[in-house]
Amino acid sequence: MFLDCGRKPVQTQGEHANSTPTEQGSNPHPLLPPRPCEAAVLLKFLISFFIITYDLCSGCDRAEYEIKGECCPMCPPGTRVYKHCTRNSSTSCVPCIGPTFTDKPNGLIHCFPCTVCDKGEISSTSDTVCGALEGNYCIDPYEGGCRAAQKHTTCKPGYFIKHPGTDSTDAVCEKCPENSYSVESSTSCTPHTQ
């Protein structure tokens, strides 16, 4: 039996042999989408179910994490959980050691490993910020650092460096004017002598 938007319930096929479902407005094909009013009833049910479920699942404060049904205080950035809280004790936190970090309050039992790079600063409260090495420029900037770098273009003989490369841009080469030359990676061209 389907609900019929405030009207009396209607019978589906098989409930009454003399009436057809289409005459009564019900869905004759159970595999097809429901009628609009049935969809509205279903939607109201799902919304109320998810609201109730969300309220039941979100019992911990924002500064807490849940473990085994308990809400435990989070560890501050730069630390991790050494021992989860119990009914009688609070969370026990220890500093991240070595090249590891946590950058937010957390309930983690391990710190994150720092990114490994040739040039960068290590901290227990943030990931390594890598930079491009001398003679290279960044091709993949990320959160104030660089995830990947590439060697600056080397200008070939007959070309000069119009704009030297920086840590964020490649070098720009330009062809020497007629009747001049350059050696590899020159910053200017030299006129030919006659």
Residues 34 and 70 both lie in one domain: no
Q: Is residue 58 part of a domain?
A: no
The predicted model scores a pTM of 0.45
CATH value at residue 82:
2.10.50.10
DSSP 75: B
Q: Output the average pLDDT for the chain.
A: 74
Q: Could you tell me if 123 and 76 lie in one domain?
A: yes
Q: Is 136 part of any domain? A: no
Q: Does residue 84 fall inside a structural domain?
A: yes
Give a yes or no: residue 91 inside a domain. Answer: yes
What is the predicted pLDDT for the residue at 164? 92
Please give the residue that has the higher pLDDT: either 5 or 37: 37
Number of domains composing the chain: 3
Confidence check: pLDDT of 8 > 60: no
Summarize pLDDT for 24-64 with one digit per residue, the tens.
444 454 454 445 445 444 545 554 444 433 434 558 999 99
Question: What CA–CA distance (Å, rounded) separates 171 from 40?
Answer: 63
- What is the per-residue pLDDT for 142? 75
Tell me, yes or no, whether 79 and 37 share the same domain. Answer: no
Based on the domain organization, do 25 and 70 belong to the same domain? no
Give domain status of residue 36, yes or no: yes
Distance CA 37, CA 26 (A): 10
166 in any annotated domain: yes
Q: What pLDDT, in 10s, does the model give residues 89-118?
A: 999 999 999 888 999 999 999 999 987 776
Could you tell me which of 151, 171, 152 has the C-alpha nearest to residue 163? 171
> Which pLDDT score is estimated for 86?
92
With a pLDDT cut of 70, the percent of the chain lying above it is 66
Domain that holds residue 176: 152-191
Beta strands in the chain (DSSP E): 2-4, 7-10, 64-67, 70-73, 79-83, 92-95, 100-101, 112-113, 120-121, 129-130, 136-138, 141-142, 145-146, 149-151, 159-163, 172-175, 180-181, 190-191
Specify the DSSP element, H or E, that contains 47: helix 36-57
Task: Evaluate whether residue 169 is within a structural domain.
Answer: yes
In tens, the pLDDT along 137-169 reads 888 887 777 878 889 999 999 999 999 999 889
pLDDT at residue 87 above 60?
yes
Do 156 and 117 lie in one domain? The reply is: no
Residues 6 or more apart whose Cβ sits within 8 Å of residue 127: 101, 103, 112, 114, 115, 143
